[in-house]
Amino acid sequence: MAFAYAVSGSTVMGNCRVKYGTFTNGSADTGGAITTGLAAIFGYGVHVDSHVGSNQPKCTKSGGTLTIVTEMGADGTWWAFGK
């Protein structure tokens, strides 16, 4: 199984759009890219449900894409806000 994600919902907070969802990794996968549907990401958060080790996930953003790097097999939730 490869990295997979879902955009579960969307709302408006102030003058920003917020998108959120879940991600899953196969047992040997360490993350991937999430196309949020936003044109630009101003902020984000990631929570790992099945924390395999002690390392926190690392994230980067570019345009409307959020890239998550986790330990192998970690699943969790994400959110991002922007325009």
d(CA 5, CA 25): 9
Compute mean pLDDT per 10 residues along the chain, 83 residues long, and list them.
94 97 94 97 91 79 96 93 97
Q: Where do we find the tokens 């996930």? A: 57
What tens digit of pLDDT does each residue of 31-49 get? 999 999 999 999 999 999 8
- What is the pLDDT, as a whole number, of residue 49? 85
Which domains are present in the chain?
4-82 (2.60.40.3940)
Q: Which of 33, 32, 35, 10 is nearest to 20 (CA)?
A: 10
* pTM, 2 dp: 0.90
Please give the C-alpha separations between residue 43 and each of 18, 48, 83, in angstroms, as whole numbers: 10, 17, 11
Percent above pLDDT 90 for the chain: 81
- What is the pLDDT, as a whole number, of residue 20? 98
